[in-house]
Structure 1
Amino acid sequence: MSNISRYKAVSALAYPLVAHFAVIHNSMALIVVALALLVLVPMLPALARGSVAAWLAVPPIAACLWWLSRSTHATLPLYIAPVLVPGFMAGVFGSTLTARQTPLIEQLIRLIDPEEPEPAVLDYARKLTLGWTVLFVALSVTNLVLALLAKPDGLLLASGVTPPVTVPQEWWSLFANVIGYLLVAAFFLIEYAYRHRRFPRQPYRNMLDFFLRVLAAMPRLVSNAAGPRR
Protein backbone atom coordinates (compact mmCIF):
# COMPACT_ATOMS: atom_id res chain seq x y z
CA MET A 1 0.00 0.00 0.00
CA SER A 2 1.41 3.40 -1.00
CA ASN A 3 1.80 6.28 1.44
CA ILE A 4 -1.03 8.13 -0.29
CA SER A 5 -3.33 5.13 0.15
CA ARG A 6 -2.36 4.92 3.82
CA TYR A 7 -3.13 8.60 4.34
CA LYS A 8 -6.49 8.18 2.63
CA ALA A 9 -7.35 5.13 4.72
CA VAL A 10 -6.36 6.80 8.00
CA SER A 11 -8.26 9.96 7.06
CA ALA A 12 -11.37 7.97 6.15
CA LEU A 13 -11.26 6.37 9.59
CA ALA A 14 -10.50 9.65 11.33
CA TYR A 15 -13.16 11.79 9.67
CA PRO A 16 -16.29 10.46 11.45
CA LEU A 17 -14.59 10.67 14.86
CA VAL A 18 -13.30 14.19 14.23
CA ALA A 19 -16.73 15.25 12.94
CA HIS A 20 -18.48 13.75 15.96
CA PHE A 21 -16.21 15.42 18.49
CA ALA A 22 -16.54 18.69 16.57
CA VAL A 23 -20.32 18.56 17.01
CA ILE A 24 -20.50 17.43 20.63
CA HIS A 25 -17.86 19.96 21.71
CA ASN A 26 -19.07 22.68 19.32
CA SER A 27 -15.46 23.12 18.25
CA MET A 28 -14.95 25.33 15.21
CA ALA A 29 -11.35 24.15 14.87
CA LEU A 30 -12.44 20.48 14.70
CA ILE A 31 -15.20 21.35 12.23
CA VAL A 32 -12.59 22.90 9.93
CA VAL A 33 -10.31 19.87 10.34
CA ALA A 34 -13.20 17.50 9.56
CA LEU A 35 -14.14 19.44 6.44
CA ALA A 36 -10.51 19.59 5.35
CA LEU A 37 -10.31 15.79 5.66
CA LEU A 38 -13.52 15.45 3.69
CA VAL A 39 -12.47 17.73 0.84
CA LEU A 40 -8.68 17.63 0.59
CA VAL A 41 -7.89 13.96 1.25
CA PRO A 42 -9.59 12.69 -1.96
CA MET A 43 -7.37 15.17 -3.80
CA LEU A 44 -4.11 13.70 -2.43
CA PRO A 45 -3.35 11.45 -5.45
CA ALA A 46 -3.79 14.38 -7.84
CA LEU A 47 -1.72 16.66 -5.59
CA ALA A 48 1.01 14.02 -5.36
CA ARG A 49 1.08 13.78 -9.18
CA GLY A 50 1.56 17.54 -9.33
CA SER A 51 -1.78 18.16 -11.03
CA VAL A 52 -2.03 21.88 -11.77
CA ALA A 53 -5.82 21.83 -11.47
CA ALA A 54 -5.62 20.18 -8.03
CA TRP A 55 -3.06 22.66 -6.72
CA LEU A 56 -5.03 25.59 -8.14
CA ALA A 57 -8.09 24.29 -6.25
CA VAL A 58 -6.32 24.37 -2.88
CA PRO A 59 -6.42 28.17 -2.29
CA PRO A 60 -10.18 28.48 -3.04
CA ILE A 61 -10.87 25.48 -0.79
CA ALA A 62 -8.77 27.02 1.98
CA ALA A 63 -10.66 30.29 1.54
CA CYS A 64 -13.99 28.48 1.78
CA LEU A 65 -12.88 26.70 4.95
CA TRP A 66 -11.80 30.03 6.44
CA TRP A 67 -15.16 31.57 5.50
CA LEU A 68 -17.04 28.63 7.00
CA SER A 69 -15.05 28.98 10.22
CA ARG A 70 -16.56 32.46 10.63
CA SER A 71 -20.08 31.39 9.66
CA THR A 72 -22.88 30.73 12.14
CA HIS A 73 -23.80 27.59 10.18
CA ALA A 74 -20.37 26.01 9.80
CA THR A 75 -21.70 22.57 10.74
CA LEU A 76 -24.08 22.37 7.77
CA PRO A 77 -21.53 20.82 5.36
CA LEU A 78 -21.03 17.99 7.85
CA TYR A 79 -24.54 16.77 7.03
CA ILE A 80 -23.57 15.99 3.43
CA ALA A 81 -21.25 12.98 3.69
CA PRO A 82 -23.47 10.83 5.99
CA VAL A 83 -26.25 11.10 3.40
CA LEU A 84 -24.27 10.93 0.16
CA VAL A 85 -21.77 8.18 1.06
CA PRO A 86 -24.28 5.46 2.03
CA GLY A 87 -26.53 6.70 -0.77
CA PHE A 88 -23.68 6.23 -3.23
CA MET A 89 -22.95 2.76 -1.83
CA ALA A 90 -26.63 1.85 -2.15
CA GLY A 91 -26.43 2.89 -5.79
CA VAL A 92 -23.29 0.81 -6.36
CA PHE A 93 -24.91 -2.33 -4.95
CA GLY A 94 -28.44 -1.69 -6.18
CA SER A 95 -27.45 -0.87 -9.77
CA THR A 96 -26.13 -4.43 -10.18
CA LEU A 97 -29.50 -5.94 -9.34
CA THR A 98 -31.11 -4.95 -12.62
CA ALA A 99 -32.06 -7.64 -15.12
CA ARG A 100 -28.98 -7.29 -17.36
CA GLN A 101 -26.38 -6.94 -14.57
CA THR A 102 -24.52 -9.39 -12.35
CA PRO A 103 -25.09 -8.78 -8.62
CA LEU A 104 -22.04 -7.15 -7.05
CA ILE A 105 -21.49 -9.94 -4.52
CA GLU A 106 -21.59 -12.52 -7.30
CA GLN A 107 -18.95 -10.54 -9.18
CA LEU A 108 -16.78 -10.57 -6.07
CA ILE A 109 -17.29 -14.32 -5.57
CA ARG A 110 -16.22 -15.04 -9.14
CA LEU A 111 -13.09 -12.92 -8.69
CA ILE A 112 -11.89 -14.56 -5.48
CA ASP A 113 -12.96 -18.13 -6.30
CA PRO A 114 -11.91 -19.65 -9.65
CA GLU A 115 -14.49 -22.44 -9.37
CA GLU A 116 -18.02 -22.05 -10.73
CA PRO A 117 -20.34 -21.10 -7.84
CA GLU A 118 -23.20 -23.40 -6.93
CA PRO A 119 -26.76 -22.20 -7.72
CA ALA A 120 -27.44 -21.81 -3.99
CA VAL A 121 -24.40 -19.53 -3.69
CA LEU A 122 -25.53 -17.40 -6.62
CA ASP A 123 -28.99 -17.04 -5.10
CA TYR A 124 -27.42 -16.06 -1.79
CA ALA A 125 -25.15 -13.55 -3.56
CA ARG A 126 -28.15 -11.77 -5.10
CA LYS A 127 -29.99 -11.66 -1.77
CA LEU A 128 -26.87 -10.39 0.01
CA THR A 129 -26.39 -7.67 -2.61
CA LEU A 130 -30.00 -6.65 -1.97
CA GLY A 131 -29.37 -6.73 1.78
CA TRP A 132 -26.42 -4.34 1.51
CA THR A 133 -28.49 -2.08 -0.73
CA VAL A 134 -31.33 -1.92 1.80
CA LEU A 135 -28.91 -1.25 4.66
CA PHE A 136 -27.22 1.64 2.88
CA VAL A 137 -30.55 3.13 1.81
CA ALA A 138 -31.76 2.94 5.43
CA LEU A 139 -28.60 4.63 6.70
CA SER A 140 -28.80 7.40 4.12
CA VAL A 141 -32.49 8.10 4.78
CA THR A 142 -32.06 7.99 8.56
CA ASN A 143 -29.10 10.38 8.41
CA LEU A 144 -31.11 12.75 6.22
CA VAL A 145 -34.15 12.71 8.52
CA LEU A 146 -32.02 13.32 11.60
CA ALA A 147 -30.17 16.11 9.80
CA LEU A 148 -33.48 17.76 8.93
CA LEU A 149 -34.74 17.55 12.51
CA ALA A 150 -31.49 18.34 14.33
CA LYS A 151 -31.42 21.21 16.80
CA PRO A 152 -30.00 23.84 17.11
CA ASP A 153 -28.39 23.81 13.65
CA GLY A 154 -30.32 21.27 11.62
CA LEU A 155 -31.19 21.69 7.97
CA LEU A 156 -34.78 22.79 8.55
CA LEU A 157 -34.00 25.23 11.36
CA ALA A 158 -31.08 26.67 9.38
CA SER A 159 -33.47 27.34 6.48
CA GLY A 160 -35.98 29.06 8.78
CA VAL A 161 -38.45 26.16 8.97
CA THR A 162 -39.50 24.86 12.39
CA PRO A 163 -39.92 21.08 12.26
CA PRO A 164 -42.82 19.45 14.15
CA VAL A 165 -40.27 17.56 16.26
CA THR A 166 -36.57 18.05 16.85
CA VAL A 167 -33.70 15.86 17.99
CA PRO A 168 -30.49 17.05 19.65
CA GLN A 169 -27.75 17.65 17.13
CA GLU A 170 -25.56 15.32 19.16
CA TRP A 171 -28.02 12.47 18.45
CA TRP A 172 -27.67 13.05 14.71
CA SER A 173 -23.87 13.05 15.00
CA LEU A 174 -23.83 9.93 17.17
CA PHE A 175 -25.86 7.99 14.61
CA ALA A 176 -24.25 9.46 11.49
CA ASN A 177 -20.63 9.33 12.63
CA VAL A 178 -20.57 6.38 15.05
CA ILE A 179 -23.62 4.10 15.14
CA GLY A 180 -24.00 3.93 11.36
CA TYR A 181 -20.47 2.62 10.94
CA LEU A 182 -20.97 0.15 13.79
CA LEU A 183 -24.12 -1.14 12.07
CA VAL A 184 -22.17 -1.71 8.86
CA ALA A 185 -19.45 -3.56 10.78
CA ALA A 186 -22.02 -5.63 12.68
CA PHE A 187 -23.85 -6.51 9.45
CA PHE A 188 -20.57 -7.65 7.90
CA LEU A 189 -19.48 -9.74 10.89
CA ILE A 190 -22.86 -11.40 11.36
CA GLU A 191 -23.16 -12.12 7.65
CA TYR A 192 -19.60 -13.50 7.55
CA ALA A 193 -20.34 -15.87 10.43
CA TYR A 194 -23.63 -16.97 8.86
CA ARG A 195 -22.02 -17.49 5.45
CA HIS A 196 -19.20 -19.53 6.96
CA ARG A 197 -21.75 -21.77 8.65
CA ARG A 198 -24.09 -22.11 5.66
CA PHE A 199 -21.34 -22.59 3.06
CA PRO A 200 -18.43 -24.28 4.87
CA ARG A 201 -16.38 -24.70 1.71
CA GLN A 202 -14.76 -21.36 1.09
CA PRO A 203 -11.74 -20.37 -1.04
CA TYR A 204 -10.25 -18.41 1.89
CA ARG A 205 -8.87 -19.74 5.16
CA ASN A 206 -10.07 -17.07 7.58
CA MET A 207 -11.30 -13.48 7.75
CA LEU A 208 -7.83 -12.02 7.18
CA ASP A 209 -7.36 -14.14 4.08
CA PHE A 210 -10.83 -13.08 2.93
CA PHE A 211 -9.92 -9.39 3.34
CA LEU A 212 -6.69 -9.85 1.42
CA ARG A 213 -8.50 -11.58 -1.42
CA VAL A 214 -11.14 -8.85 -1.53
CA LEU A 215 -8.47 -6.14 -1.61
CA ALA A 216 -6.69 -7.96 -4.42
CA ALA A 217 -9.95 -8.21 -6.38
CA MET A 218 -10.98 -4.57 -5.85
CA PRO A 219 -9.19 -3.11 -8.91
CA ARG A 220 -10.94 -5.56 -11.24
CA LEU A 221 -14.23 -5.13 -9.40
CA VAL A 222 -14.05 -1.35 -9.74
CA SER A 223 -13.08 -1.58 -13.41
CA ASN A 224 -16.20 -3.68 -13.99
CA ALA A 225 -18.44 -1.47 -11.82
CA ALA A 226 -21.19 -1.56 -14.43
CA GLY A 227 -21.28 -5.39 -14.14
CA PRO A 228 -20.72 -7.93 -16.86
CA ARG A 229 -23.49 -8.67 -19.27
CA ARG A 230 -25.40 -11.88 -18.74
Structure 2
Amino acid sequence: MTSIGRAALVLAYPLVAHFGVIQNSVTLIAIALGLLIVLPMVPALGRGSVVAWLVLLPVVGGLWWLSRSTHATLPLYIAPVLVPGFMAGVFGSSLLAGQVPLIEQLIRIMEPEQQPEPEVLAYAHQLTKAWTLFFVTLALTNLVLGLLAEPDGMLLAAGIAPPVTVPELWWSLVANLIGYLLVAAFFLIEYAYRRHRFPRQPYRNMLDFFLKVLAAMPRLVSSAAGPRR
Protein backbone atom coordinates (compact mmCIF):
# COMPACT_ATOMS: atom_id res chain seq x y z
CA MET A 1 0.00 0.00 0.00
CA THR A 2 1.28 3.45 -0.92
CA SER A 3 1.85 6.21 1.63
CA ILE A 4 -1.13 8.08 0.14
CA GLY A 5 -3.31 5.02 0.66
CA ARG A 6 -2.22 4.69 4.28
CA ALA A 7 -2.81 8.40 4.87
CA ALA A 8 -6.33 8.04 3.43
CA LEU A 9 -7.05 5.17 5.83
CA VAL A 10 -5.70 7.18 8.77
CA LEU A 11 -8.02 10.06 7.86
CA ALA A 12 -10.91 7.63 7.39
CA TYR A 13 -10.70 6.26 10.95
CA PRO A 14 -12.16 9.24 12.89
CA LEU A 15 -14.95 9.68 10.34
CA VAL A 16 -15.92 6.01 10.38
CA ALA A 17 -15.71 5.96 14.18
CA HIS A 18 -17.89 9.06 14.53
CA PHE A 19 -20.60 7.85 12.16
CA GLY A 20 -20.51 4.43 13.80
CA VAL A 21 -21.22 6.06 17.16
CA ILE A 22 -23.96 8.47 16.07
CA GLN A 23 -25.71 5.78 14.00
CA ASN A 24 -25.13 3.11 16.66
CA SER A 25 -23.78 0.86 13.90
CA VAL A 26 -21.71 -2.05 15.23
CA THR A 27 -20.55 -2.69 11.67
CA LEU A 28 -19.02 0.77 11.31
CA ILE A 29 -17.58 0.56 14.81
CA ALA A 30 -15.93 -2.78 13.95
CA ILE A 31 -14.55 -1.28 10.72
CA ALA A 32 -13.15 1.71 12.64
CA LEU A 33 -11.49 -0.57 15.18
CA GLY A 34 -10.15 -2.67 12.32
CA LEU A 35 -8.55 0.41 10.79
CA LEU A 36 -7.09 1.39 14.16
CA ILE A 37 -5.56 -2.02 14.82
CA VAL A 38 -4.56 -3.11 11.32
CA LEU A 39 -3.03 0.17 10.05
CA PRO A 40 0.23 -0.25 12.02
CA MET A 41 0.45 -3.80 10.64
CA VAL A 42 0.06 -2.80 6.97
CA PRO A 43 3.82 -2.58 6.16
CA ALA A 44 4.46 -6.03 7.66
CA LEU A 45 1.42 -7.49 5.94
CA GLY A 46 2.59 -6.02 2.64
CA ARG A 47 5.97 -7.69 3.09
CA GLY A 48 4.23 -11.00 3.60
CA SER A 49 5.30 -11.36 7.23
CA VAL A 50 4.03 -14.68 8.54
CA VAL A 51 3.82 -13.32 12.09
CA ALA A 52 1.72 -10.33 10.96
CA TRP A 53 -0.70 -12.56 9.06
CA LEU A 54 -0.98 -14.92 12.02
CA VAL A 55 -1.72 -11.99 14.33
CA LEU A 56 -4.35 -10.75 11.88
CA LEU A 57 -6.46 -13.90 12.36
CA PRO A 58 -7.25 -13.36 16.07
CA VAL A 59 -7.72 -9.65 15.37
CA VAL A 60 -10.44 -10.44 12.85
CA GLY A 61 -11.96 -12.93 15.27
CA GLY A 62 -11.91 -10.37 18.07
CA LEU A 63 -13.58 -7.75 15.90
CA TRP A 64 -16.29 -10.24 14.93
CA TRP A 65 -16.89 -11.05 18.61
CA LEU A 66 -16.92 -7.37 19.52
CA SER A 67 -19.46 -6.60 16.79
CA ARG A 68 -21.86 -8.92 18.65
CA SER A 69 -21.11 -7.40 22.05
CA THR A 70 -23.36 -4.95 23.87
CA HIS A 71 -20.31 -2.73 24.52
CA ALA A 72 -18.90 -2.55 20.99
CA THR A 73 -18.28 1.20 21.36
CA LEU A 74 -16.11 0.86 24.46
CA PRO A 75 -12.72 0.28 22.71
CA LEU A 76 -13.23 3.48 20.71
CA TYR A 77 -12.74 5.44 23.93
CA ILE A 78 -9.15 4.26 24.24
CA ALA A 79 -7.47 5.71 21.11
CA PRO A 80 -8.52 9.37 21.68
CA VAL A 81 -6.77 9.19 25.06
CA LEU A 82 -3.73 7.10 24.15
CA VAL A 83 -2.78 8.90 20.91
CA PRO A 84 -2.55 12.47 22.30
CA GLY A 85 -1.17 11.01 25.52
CA PHE A 86 1.60 9.33 23.55
CA MET A 87 2.32 12.56 21.64
CA ALA A 88 2.45 14.48 24.92
CA GLY A 89 4.98 11.94 26.15
CA VAL A 90 7.11 12.30 23.01
CA PHE A 91 7.22 16.10 23.26
CA GLY A 92 7.36 16.23 27.05
CA SER A 93 10.15 13.69 27.49
CA SER A 94 12.40 15.84 25.31
CA LEU A 95 12.04 18.65 27.87
CA LEU A 96 13.61 16.62 30.65
CA ALA A 97 16.99 17.60 32.01
CA GLY A 98 19.79 16.71 29.62
CA GLN A 99 17.45 16.21 26.65
CA VAL A 100 17.11 18.33 23.52
CA PRO A 101 13.61 19.79 22.95
CA LEU A 102 11.93 18.01 20.06
CA ILE A 103 11.42 21.17 17.99
CA GLU A 104 15.09 22.05 18.40
CA GLN A 105 16.00 18.58 17.15
CA LEU A 106 13.81 19.17 14.10
CA ILE A 107 15.45 22.55 13.43
CA ARG A 108 18.94 21.07 13.63
CA ILE A 109 17.99 18.24 11.26
CA MET A 110 16.42 20.63 8.74
CA GLU A 111 19.36 23.07 8.93
CA PRO A 112 22.39 20.89 9.69
CA GLU A 113 24.91 23.53 8.53
CA GLN A 114 23.44 26.40 10.53
CA GLN A 115 23.85 27.16 14.22
CA PRO A 116 20.41 28.25 15.48
CA GLU A 117 20.26 31.66 17.08
CA PRO A 118 19.57 31.83 20.84
CA GLU A 119 16.14 33.39 20.17
CA VAL A 120 15.25 30.50 17.86
CA LEU A 121 16.36 27.93 20.44
CA ALA A 122 14.29 29.64 23.14
CA TYR A 123 11.28 29.61 20.83
CA ALA A 124 11.84 25.92 20.05
CA HIS A 125 11.83 25.14 23.77
CA GLN A 126 8.61 27.09 24.36
CA LEU A 127 6.93 25.54 21.32
CA THR A 128 7.84 22.03 22.47
CA LYS A 129 6.31 22.88 25.85
CA ALA A 130 3.19 24.30 24.16
CA TRP A 131 2.66 21.12 22.10
CA THR A 132 3.12 19.04 25.26
CA LEU A 133 0.47 21.02 27.16
CA PHE A 134 -1.84 20.94 24.15
CA PHE A 135 -1.72 17.15 23.84
CA VAL A 136 -2.07 16.67 27.62
CA THR A 137 -5.18 18.86 27.57
CA LEU A 138 -6.61 16.99 24.60
CA ALA A 139 -6.00 13.58 26.19
CA LEU A 140 -7.55 14.65 29.51
CA THR A 141 -10.56 16.18 27.75
CA ASN A 142 -11.18 12.98 25.80
CA LEU A 143 -10.74 10.92 28.98
CA VAL A 144 -13.22 12.99 31.00
CA LEU A 145 -15.82 13.00 28.23
CA GLY A 146 -15.30 9.26 27.70
CA LEU A 147 -15.84 8.59 31.41
CA LEU A 148 -19.02 10.68 31.54
CA ALA A 149 -20.51 9.71 28.16
CA GLU A 150 -24.02 8.29 28.10
CA PRO A 151 -25.26 5.64 27.34
CA ASP A 152 -22.06 3.67 26.63
CA GLY A 153 -19.39 5.62 28.47
CA MET A 154 -16.60 3.99 30.42
CA LEU A 155 -18.09 4.57 33.90
CA LEU A 156 -21.57 3.39 32.95
CA ALA A 157 -20.09 0.35 31.20
CA ALA A 158 -18.31 -0.47 34.48
CA GLY A 159 -21.58 -0.16 36.40
CA ILE A 160 -20.63 3.15 38.01
CA ALA A 161 -23.08 6.05 37.89
CA PRO A 162 -21.15 9.28 37.19
CA PRO A 163 -22.18 12.45 39.03
CA VAL A 164 -22.97 14.07 35.68
CA THR A 165 -23.23 12.70 32.16
CA VAL A 166 -22.68 14.08 28.68
CA PRO A 167 -24.25 12.83 25.45
CA GLU A 168 -22.11 10.28 23.67
CA LEU A 169 -22.40 12.53 20.61
CA TRP A 170 -20.43 15.26 22.41
CA TRP A 171 -17.62 12.84 23.21
CA SER A 172 -17.51 11.58 19.62
CA LEU A 173 -17.49 15.09 18.15
CA VAL A 174 -14.53 16.10 20.33
CA ALA A 175 -12.62 12.81 20.16
CA ASN A 176 -13.13 11.95 16.50
CA LEU A 177 -13.51 15.33 14.78
CA ILE A 178 -12.92 18.50 16.79
CA GLY A 179 -9.70 17.22 18.37
CA TYR A 180 -8.10 16.64 14.98
CA LEU A 181 -9.31 20.03 13.76
CA LEU A 182 -7.73 21.66 16.82
CA VAL A 183 -4.41 19.97 16.04
CA ALA A 184 -4.58 21.31 12.48
CA ALA A 185 -5.55 24.79 13.72
CA PHE A 186 -2.68 24.83 16.24
CA PHE A 187 -0.26 23.81 13.48
CA LEU A 188 -1.51 26.45 11.02
CA ILE A 189 -1.60 29.29 13.54
CA GLU A 190 1.86 28.47 14.84
CA TYR A 191 3.22 28.22 11.30
CA ALA A 192 1.84 31.67 10.40
CA TYR A 193 3.24 33.20 13.60
CA ARG A 194 6.64 31.59 13.07
CA ARG A 195 6.87 32.90 9.49
CA HIS A 196 6.12 36.38 10.81
CA ARG A 197 8.54 36.22 13.73
CA PHE A 198 11.37 34.42 11.89
CA PRO A 199 11.12 35.38 8.19
CA ARG A 200 14.29 33.49 7.23
CA GLN A 201 13.25 29.86 6.97
CA PRO A 202 14.74 26.85 5.12
CA TYR A 203 11.47 26.28 3.23
CA ARG A 204 9.47 28.22 0.67
CA ASN A 205 5.90 27.61 1.85
CA MET A 206 3.79 25.33 4.02
CA LEU A 207 3.85 22.46 1.54
CA ASP A 208 7.64 22.65 1.32
CA PHE A 209 7.83 22.78 5.13
CA PHE A 210 5.55 19.75 5.46
CA LEU A 211 7.62 17.76 2.96
CA LYS A 212 10.84 18.67 4.76
CA VAL A 213 9.34 17.60 8.09
CA LEU A 214 8.33 14.25 6.56
CA ALA A 215 11.85 13.83 5.17
CA ALA A 216 13.32 14.59 8.61
CA MET A 217 11.04 12.17 10.46
CA PRO A 218 13.28 9.05 10.17
CA ARG A 219 16.23 10.89 11.73
CA LEU A 220 13.97 12.58 14.28
CA VAL A 221 12.50 9.23 15.36
CA SER A 222 15.93 7.62 15.61
CA SER A 223 17.27 10.50 17.70
CA ALA A 224 14.20 10.57 19.98
CA ALA A 225 15.58 7.62 21.93
CA GLY A 226 17.67 10.05 23.93
CA PRO A 227 19.58 12.88 22.30
CA ARG A 228 21.39 14.77 24.99
CA ARG A 229 23.05 18.11 25.24
What is the TM-score normalised by the length of structure 1?
A: 0.97
Q: Cα distance, 1:221 vs. partner?
A: 0.5
Partner in structure 2 of residue 153 of structure 1: 152
- Listed as ranges, the matches of 1:171-210 within 5 Å are 171-210=170-209
Aligned residues of 1:143 and 1:172 also touching (Cα < 8 A): yes
CA–CA separation in structure 2 for the residues paired with 1:168 and 1:38 = 24
Residues 1:44 and 2:42 are matched in the alignment: yes
- Asked if 1:103 corresponds to 2:101, the answer is yes
CA displacement, residues 136-194 of structure 1 (integer Å, 9 cap, x when unaligned): 00000000000000000000000000000000001000000011011111111111111
Secondary structure of the corresponding residue to residue 78 of structure 2 = helix
For residues 70 and 228 of structure 1, the distance between their equivalents in structure 2, rounded to whole angstroms, comes to 47
Q: Which residue of 1 aligns with 2:125?
A: 126
Does the aligned pair in 2 maintain the 1:101–1:226 contact within 8 Å? no
% identical equivalent positions: 72
Map of 1:68-107 to 2, 5 A cutoff? 68-107=66-105
Deviation at 1:8, TM superposition (A): 2.1
How far 1:203 sits from its partner (Å)?
1.1
Deviates more, 1:5-14 or 1:179-188: 5-14
Question: Equivalent residue for 1:22?
Answer: 20
Question: CA-to-partner distance for each residue in 1:22-45, whole Å, 9 max, x for gaps?
Answer: 001111110011011011111111
Q: CA deviation at 1:59?
A: 1.5
* Contact in 2 for aligned 1:75/1:153 (Cα 8 Å): yes
Runs of 4+ in 1 over 3 A off after TM superposition: none
Question: Normalization by structure 2: what TM-score?
Answer: 0.97
Note the alpha carbon deviations across 1:89-120, whole angstroms, 9 max, x for none: 00000000011110000000011123111000
- The amino acid of 1:115's aligned partner reads Q
Aligned residues: 228
What does the per-residue CA deviation read over 1:183-229, in whole Å, with 9 as the maximum and x for residues that have no partner? Answer: 11111111111111111111111111111111111110011112422
For 1:4 and 1:72, locate their aligned partners in 2 and report how far apart those are by CA, in whole Å.
36
Output the CA distance in 1 between the equivalents of 2:6 and 2:40: 7
Separation in 1 of the partners of 2:51 and 2:82?
A: 24
Partner of 2:222: 223
